[in-house]
Structures are given as C-alpha cells and as structure tokens.
Amino acid sequence: MEKELDQVRIRKEKVQRLREMGIDPFPYIFFRTHFSEEVKENFDSLEEKEVVVAGRLVSRRLHGKAGFVHIEDDRGRIQIYFKYDTLQDRYALVKLLDLGDFIGVKGKVFRTKTGEVTVWAENVELLSKALHPPPEKYHGLKDIELRYRNRHLDLMANPEVRDRFRMRTRIIQGIREFFVKEGFLEVETPVLQPRYGGAFARPFITHYNALDRDYFLRIANEIYLKRLIIGGFEKVFEMGKMFRNEGLDRFHNPEFTNLEAYQAYADYNVMMELVENLFLYLSKDVLKKDSFTFQGMEIVIKEKWERITYFGALEKYTGIDFYPLDKEETKRKAEELGVDTEGKVTKGKILDAIFDKCVQPDLVQPVFVIDYPVDITPLAKKKRGDDNLVERFEPFMAMTEIGNAYSELNNPEEQKERFLFQQSLREKGDMEATPIDEDFIQAMMYGMPPTGGLGLGVDRVVMLLLDVPSIRDAILFPQLRE
RNA sequence: GGGCCGUUAGCUCAGCAGGUAGAGCACCGGCCUUUUAAGCCGGGAGUCGCAGGUUCGAAUCCUGCACGGCUCACCA
C-alpha cells in the first residue's frame, strides 16, 4: 500500500474513540424487521409503527442536534432522522458515523414535512465501520478501469450496475428453468481436461503436478456431454465457464459462460425450435416484453425465426455463389471483396472471413444461418443429400452470433476421418484445428443415438437482452491485464 | 500486434502560449433540532501514471514504458 490517506487515518481514530465509548465497531449480527422498500411501500400500515432497518450510510445531512441520513440496503434506500432529544447520549455515535458505514436503526415510521417516508431513530447501532471513503456521491464512479478492477466500488456507486447484474442472474436462471422444464438433466463435466475439443480455439494449458502432465482448461464441454448421451441420458445440458486463449474485445472474454444442450433422437431442426422456444420463454418470463433494443436496433422475438443457408446468405450479400468454387477461386473473390485471407488454411476459413465482413452486419432480426461447409465443422453430421455441407446452424441477432448447433455426428468411423482431416490442418499450421480424440471415437463405437446439440454464448445473450455494448459490462469481473 | 485517445486530491474534473497546482463532492474545525447534491464561515489534503530527454525552469514539449478506452487485425 502507498501512503495512508488522511481520511483513512481519521476513520481509524474514530474506531479508537468508538471502542473507548464501549462500542464494538465490528459486531457480529443484527436483526432487521423490514427492507427499505417494504417500509416505503407499506407506509399506510406502518405509519407510527416501529421498524428495524439496516444498511450502508450513503448520504448525510447533519445540522447540530438533529440530522438526516439515507441508508441503502439490497432493495433501495430509506431516510433516517436522528434527533438529539430522542437519542440523548446515543447521539454521540451519530456524530462519529461516516459515509460507507453500515448501521442498524430502530424507530417509528413517519413522513417528513417534505413528504419523504423516514424512520425516526430511537436507537442506532454501528454494524460495521468503513475505513475508506466511498466514491463520489453525485457523479458516481466513472473511471472505467477503476470500475472493472474494483467492481465492488462500481456496484456501490452505480445502482444501475447492480440492477444489470441482477438481471443477468435472472436471465441465467431463466435459461436454466427453461431447460429443466423441457426435461433436460443438468450435469457437470470436467473443466480440467487431458485433451481439448469441441470448438476451434487455443486452450489455456496448466500442469497437473501429481501426474506430471499438462492439462487443459476446457474450451468446450461438447465431447463429455455427448458421452453422456452415449451412456443413455436422452437430454442433458450444462451451463458453465469455458476458457479460450485468445484476445479480448467487446465480444470476447477469455473466460466466458456457455450453455450446451444435447437431445437424443433430435436433429438440428429440433434444436432450432428449442432456441425459438427459449427466447420466447426469456422474453415472456424474464424481459416481460416481446422485443428489445440493442445499440439502437429493435429486435423482435418471434415464434418462428427466418432461416437462410450459409451459401445463400453469402450469395445474397455478395452476389457470388461460392458453393462451386475451389479454394483458390474463393480466395481470389475474397480479395476482390477486400477480405483479408492471410493465414486462412481452408476454403471454409476464407468463407468465414467473407461471412463476417459481408453478411453478419445485415443479420439484425433473429435468424438461423444453416448448412455450413464440412471442413470447418468436424463434429457435425453431413447434410442430407449434400456431402459438402453439414447440418449446422448458428443463431444470429443484432449482428451478433450467439450460438452454434448441429445434427451431431454419431458415426465413429466418419468421426475418425474428420479428426484425421483436422490433424492434417494442424500440420499445415492451423493451431485451432481440433486434435484427434481416440477416447471419444471409442465411446461412439458403442452406439450413439441420433442427437441434436446446441451451444449458446450466455454472456452475449445477456449483452443483447440488456443492451450492454461490451462483454466487460456483462461479466462481473472481466479479464484485465495485471 | 497496428492506429488514435486518455492517465492531475479518495471521487468527478479544470489547468497545457513551459514559470513550480485548482474547483466541486468527500474530509477536519465552528454555527445550525424536518434536511434532500442542506447551508454559512474557516482549514487540511497531490512524487500531476512511471522513466529518461530538451530547458534557467516541465503537469504542460519530445522519447520510451505501464495501464486503460475506442478501432483494425487476430479470435467463433
């Protein structure tokens, strides 16, 4: 720590004085009868009745032998009136209170002459002394770096931030409720994995000392969840953290929350309906409205989303049918479109770059982009009637990709070939290519039912529904450089 | 990783023709027994992100670094 702040020194001296007065500045427990909100909402029945409230001191207007303060609890703020005539000796404690302290107050509910519902303190107890002054009361805490690094201060100073994270939790609970209601079993799979797969991304590597072997933080849980389907569970889901060793930006945090759900006897069409129903559920039960705005774009949650094929979308927005083109021709066209193809190993990767630049900015209303090229999707089943495509879709809205889903590949021999192809990409220098997973192939040998799978970026869903432009404002403790 | 911008009191910010640091809130003292960003009077508080350089003199100009933001690239 650097030099002690004057105000901190003064507060520590107050702690000393309180102890000399026989007051414990850090007592253990307090019983309250009402939240601030309850007192205010039930004023008519509580007027002149005694209540006990508790909270953090957030404003203070003392004038000599009387004064007003506001305390803040989990549900809001309420004003407290302190008067020397009522408190007598106890008024000495009031004079030693600082902004940020936690106090408990017993008193009768009344209305001041300006009409504010207030508790007239008959007793006041210090519940915890704050040694450091809080952020500024009027402007709040603006400094973005401070807000992310010291989220407790951000939450303290900016009530709208608390509201936002309460809403995040409700959305997450809503997602969980929806899948449980649909009959999915919530499971937990390893975060620490001896090999990684299920997505294209570089992993975080860690070392397991007892085994003297490198392990990986999961980039996805897909393989484990499918092994559960092989084991006989018909509907499973997991919501949890994934870790991808990549850059930070408005839409990416290396540690993020993901939902994956797998359903036996289903294909990607069933999973599209599941996504439609999930959003209907969220809009009805959480948002309580059937549209929302993200960065000025009004998004309407409909029962049925538009579906457009991957190549169809590319053709619609570039005028070029990429389907018949080989890698070289695709590359040429990409460059004509001004798309950077540097380091793109396959036609699929080049197409992805074109898609991101030319198509994605037009995907505003909820839409499923379906039927992707096979080479960028090693775990999905081939499209019925077209070996160059797989049955895969990505849900988009507000120009943002929010998930990924397939008719899951369940033929172990084909799975092996796909892994071998990925292996060859790896050898060509594509570090995101999926490594081969023999255990998974072996598991699939025992028989895996036809299965639909879905992955959903939960943080991105939160961003969209709450109109939060940066993932750092959708995650309580976003990753920052140390 | 590239480009642009930012970093001054606990917080929000001003100060930048280069002359040695300011305001509001917060804090301390005084007055004040119904206030609402309470008020009035007085006071304390800063290694101006860090390190170099130019200069008689740097918060201010230059260079490098750190951290952050936006953006491009990378990345589902």
Q: Is the CB of A401 less than 7 A from some atom of nucleic acid strand B? A: yes
In this predicted structure, what is the pLDDT of residue A58?
94
The interface predicted TM-score of the complex, written ipTM, equals 0.89
In this predicted structure, what is the pLDDT of residue A1?
30
Q: What whole-number percentage of chain A has pLDDT above 70? A: 99
Q: Which amino acid is at A201?
A: A
The CATH number for A14's domain is 2.40.50.140
Residues A266, A371, single domain; the answer is yes
In chain A, positions 199-238 with C-beta closer than 7 Å to nucleic chain B are 199-201
**CA–CA separation, A402 vs A328, rounded Å?**
30
Residues A187, A97, single domain; the answer is no
Cite the DSSP H helix spans in A402-447.
412-427, 438-445
Whether pLDDT at A2 is above 50: no
Mean pLDDT of A420-443: 83
Structural domain boundaries, residue A275: 157-305+366-473
- How many other C-beta atoms lie within 10 A of the C-beta of residue A43? 14
In chain A, positions 91-110 with C-beta closer than 7 Å to nucleic chain B are 98-99, 110
In this predicted structure, what is the pLDDT of residue A3?
52
The answer to whether residue A329 sits within a structural domain is no
Q: Is the CB of A155 less than 7 A from some atom of nucleic acid strand B? A: no
The CATH number for A396's domain is 3.30.930.10
Residues A248, A386, single domain; the answer is yes
The answer to whether residue A444 sits within a structural domain is yes
Residues A61, A165, single domain; the answer is no
Residues A270, A181, single domain; the answer is yes
Q: Is the CB of A152 less than 7 A from some atom of nucleic acid strand B? A: no
Residue range A174-217, pLDDT digits in tens:
999 999 999 999 999 999 998 888 887 888 888 899 999 999 99
Q: Which amino acid is at A196?
A: Y
Number of domains forming the structure of chain A: 2
Nucleotides of B under 7 A from a protein CB: 1, 6, 10-13, 24-28, 31-39, 44-45, 47, 66-76
Query: How would you classify residue A212: left for phi > 0, otherwise alpha for psi between -120 and 50, otherwise beta?
Result: left
Nucleotide at minimal C1' distance from the A6 CA? B45
Residues A291, A435, single domain; the answer is yes
Mean pLDDT of A147-165: 90
**CA–CA separation, A325 vs A87, rounded Å?**
85
Whether pLDDT at A113 is above 80: yes
Mean pLDDT of A72-90: 95
The answer to whether residue A291 sits within a structural domain is yes
In this predicted structure, what is the pLDDT of residue A452?
97
The answer to whether residue A121 sits within a structural domain is yes
